[in-house]
Amino acid sequence: MKRREFIQGATSLAALSVMGSLNYSCDHEAGLSRKLGKTGFKVFPVGYGGIVSMSDGQEASDRYVSWAIDRGINYFDVAPSYGDAEEKLGNSLKAYRKNIYLACKTVNRLCKEAEPEFEKSFKQLHTDYFDVYQLHSLSTQEDVDQAFGPGGTMEMMVKARQEGRVRKLGITAHSEEIALKAMAMYDFDTVLFPVNWMMNMLNGMGTSLCRDARKRGMGLLAMKSQIHRRWFDRSEDRGDYRKSWCKPIHTDRKELGIAAIRYTFRLGADIILPPGNFKSFSFAVDHIEEILNQPVSSDETALLENEFSLVKDYPFF
């Protein structure tokens, strides 16, 4: 597939203000679900990141997933690079597969590596289709050049979508510059990106991407909404948060955690994927109605600004 075949004209949509106030329905009968961009999916505002199921054993994964399903969570995201998460989550989701949206991804940039991994993911997750399949962790121009070039993973992904094995295509990235380039090259359905209070305050990270995703009608999935800072070093006690790649806001700091998540939704996220531990995930789920019912208050802004002054020298990357 030629590179130019991926370049598509942007759809003309009315621009939405990224920083404007957002109105969310919290009616119990209607539920908290909202549209995930142009996908047509209606999703709970908190998704389940597969790392929650990683390394804790099958019984724990089953318990986590059952808890999530009981509370309306219907978007589950996993990757082959998440240890044993595909195996554990796949087993836990067997009974629920038809009632949830399942997203998977690949870090491979060439079809010859991506294709066997793709097939293995189907087997591990006990499914014959993915609702979303994503180019994972785009970080450099080389990543983009390889994935979109001859023999690149995009060839496999587009073919899989045409064959009905994948319903929607997306990307994940930590580089805003690279994400925006990829978004301009193909009409993706979703983007998963760090939308974090501290990094946005530090250098505006995420603002341009949120705005562009909204213009394109892409579903915006936010990771790292509850991240506090990077870990200082390997000796820092991680406690219940050992699986998180960065230090989450401890759940006993309720006000700060709520303010941080509200900040992420204010920037334009459709849903959040909390850090990879059950405590952070359950905190977000337990407080999501409270979070969405109110805008970021002046007291919360002051709280975040004060906390920013303490952690700004320790960004998560």
Instruction: Report the chain (317 residues): mean pLDDT per 10 consecutive residues.
Output: 36 29 35 95 98 98 98 98 97 97 98 98 98 98 98 98 98 98 98 98 98 98 98 92 95 98 98 97 98 96 98 94
The confidence score (pLDDT) of residue 317 equals 85
pLDDT at 12: 25
- Residue 173 maps to which CATH number? 3.20.20.100
Which single residue is written with the structure tokens 């760090």? Answer: 194
Q: What pLDDT is recorded for position 115?
A: 98
Number of domains in the chain: 1
Domain that holds residue 297: 35-311
- For residue 29, being part of any structural domain is answered with no
The Cα–Cα gap between 276 and 130 comes to 21
**pTM of the entire structure?**
0.90
Q: Quick check: is 297 in a domain?
A: yes
Please answer whether residues 268 and 216 qualify as being in contact, where contact means their C-beta atoms are separated by less than 8 angstroms: no
Domain for residue 10, yes or no?
Answer: no
pLDDT for 29 equals 30
pLDDT for 234:
85
Taking CA atoms, 90 is separated from 73, 86, 126, 194, 220, in Å, by: 16, 6, 6, 25, 24
Query: Is residue 51 one of the residues assigned to a domain?
Result: yes
pLDDT value for 31: 79
In a domain, 193, yes or no: yes
146 is a domain residue? yes
Give the model's pLDDT for residue 25.
34
**Residue 192 located in a structural domain:** yes
296 domain residue, yes or no: yes
